[in-house]
Structure 1
Amino acid sequence: MPSLESNVPIFSAKGLTKVYQMGEVQVQALRGIDLEIFSNEIVVLLGASGSGKSTLVNILGGLDTASGGRVTYRDIELTHASEKELTNFRRLSVGFVFQFYNLIPSLTARENVAIVTEIAENPMTPEEALTLVDLGDRMDHFPAQLSGGEQQRIAIARAVAKNPDVLLCDEPTGALDSKTGIVVLKALQKVNQSLGTATVLITHNVVIGGMADRIINLHDGRISNIERNEKKISPDQMTW
């Protein structure tokens, strides 16, 4: 992997804040985040519930907007983008993977992925995306015929089929046992290595940080520590 310092960041956040109004109470979810994300790297966000991980990723992905500060994607200013601009950004540039797979039960694996390829500008075929996550032999199965890990890998195939620059994953192994979770992490690693997609992965599981280029710890809406991982390991080497 090239030196991150020599790359232009794909995301740049400066002084990012987010305040939610809950009735008469203000909740400060982010308290001044400075962060850069680069192509090709895997970044793991660690932190307790309420530390701001999901809020940060939702802002990076254009699913939410910041209350203050500035965030850019390449040369696009996301902080003040219109809803149309954010929709276009999400549709063309970002793939999302969530804890729960959000597959359409009446569609096959191939058809679930095809939903995305039909609206993207330069997509893979559904067959290419499913083969990338080692599900080439399960394309015509319905979600109910597949295990949880296989359904999550379909969700990953759907997310990467549009050839996104960025893959944002919110607890992608949270609903899986460790053996199945490792299979899913291997699929994410393969996507990162094959496509060079910047991959941001939220988890409570400290062990998963072993596969990251950088581990970013959040606490109470702030980045408490950023660690460069000099000795990445394969998900096969993990146990939890």
Structure 2
Amino acid sequence: MSTGSPELVFRARGLTKVYRMGEVEVHALRGVDLDLHGGELVVLLGPSGSGKSTLLNILGGLDVPTAGQVWYHGEDLTAAGARALTRFRRTHVGFVFQFYNLIPSLTARENVALVTDIAEAPMTPEEALALVGLGERLDHFPAQLSGGEQQRVAIARAVAKRPAVLLCDEPTGALDSPTGVRVLEVIERVNAELGTTTVVITHNADIARMAHRVLRMADGRIASSEANPTRTPARELSW
């Protein structure tokens, strides 16, 4: 990350999220304040139920807070309607989830083209798949790819529209350690080469060593925020 003051991408203040399940209220977020800067790679750590996915979904415009505000480059997302949030997600955000959500009847190239066909200034599917090291697997179907390769197709699909923000929810959760490391190398490369502000949710504390900054969540709050004095390259991680 560059020295000086990188551009403020997200600014969240007082984010609260309450889910009502029958007579019970579940407090997923309890007054979260957060700033994310351009080009940062941030790892969100914390146990299940600590609020990590809820926070990510609000940042990505998939959910709205019960209270509080979040701004993206100064634009108040909490004041945006459903159509504006759809446009925000389509234009600015790439999502990667634990499960790959590929369409089985489409090749790798065709899965990525689902995004490039509607984006404003996308990479070609071939460029995106080359970025994730799958330039030779363009015409393979998901069933012909390993789990790690399928996840890399999912990352190619997420980054092909050149999003400013990449949000990854347990991207290695279904993968063994060597395969997970390959996927993290791709995320690291996208962050470095495209300057994409990147947030990775994980239970795995070892993965935090590759981040610029580590946020630990507990009980719906950010319990700590620490910059890594030195970052460990993804290829040197194992768990």
Question: Could you say which TM-score interval applies, normalised by the shorter chain?
Answer: over 0.9
Give the letter for the 1:113 counterpart. Answer: V
Separation (CA, whole Å) in 2 of partners of 1:146 and 1:170: 21
Give the letter for the 1:185 counterpart. Answer: L
Match status 1:65 vs 2:84: no
Give the letter for the 2:2 counterpart. Answer: P
Counterparts of 1:85-96 in structure 2 under 5 Å? 85-96=84-95
Give the letter for the 2:6 counterpart. Answer: N
CA-to-aligned-CA distance 1:179-198 (integer Å, 9 cap, x gap): 10000000000111110000
Counterparts of 1:86-165 in structure 2 under 5 Å? 86-165=85-164
Which residue does the alignment assign to 2:10? Answer: 11
Separation (CA, whole Å) in 2 of partners of 1:239 and 1:145: 26
Tell me how far 1:204 sits from its aligned partner.
0.1
Tell me how far 1:7 sits from its aligned partner.
2.1
Tell me how far 1:236 sits from its aligned partner.
1.4
Tell me how far 1:41 sits from its aligned partner.
1.1
The two structures have a TM-score, normalised by structure 1, of 0.98
Separation (CA, whole Å) in 1 of partners of 2:153 and 2:111: 8
Which residue does the alignment assign to 2:235? Answer: 236
Which residue does the alignment assign to 2:79? Answer: 80
The two structures have a TM-score, normalised by structure 2, of 0.99
Match status 1:184 vs 2:162: no
Separation (CA, whole Å) in 2 of partners of 1:6 and 1:39: 9
Separation (CA, whole Å) in 2 of partners of 1:132 and 1:154: 10
Which residue does the alignment assign to 1:168? Answer: 167
Give the letter for the 1:68 counterpart. Answer: A
Tell me how far 1:9 sits from its aligned partner.
1.0
Tell me how far 1:75 sits from its aligned partner.
2.3
SS at match of 1:79: helix
CA-to-aligned-CA distance 1:165-210 (integer Å, 9 cap, x gap): 0000000000000010000000000111110000000000000001
Tell me how far 1:138 sits from its aligned partner.
0.4
Tell me how far 1:86 sits from its aligned partner.
0.1
CA RMSD of aligned residues (A): 0.7
Compare 97-106 and 228-237 and name the one that shifted more. 228-237
Unpaired stretches in structure 1, ≥5 consecutive residues? none
Separation (CA, whole Å) in 2 of partners of 1:145 and 1:7: 42
Identity, in percent, stands at 64
Separation (CA, whole Å) in 2 of partners of 1:116 and 1:75: 26
Q: How many residues were matched structurally?
A: 239
Separation (CA, whole Å) in 1 of partners of 2:134 and 2:190: 13
Which residue does the alignment assign to 1:50? Answer: 49
Match status 1:38 vs 2:11: no
Moved over 3 A (4+): none
CA-to-aligned-CA distance 1:108-148 (integer Å, 9 cap, x gap): 00000000001111100000000000100001100000000
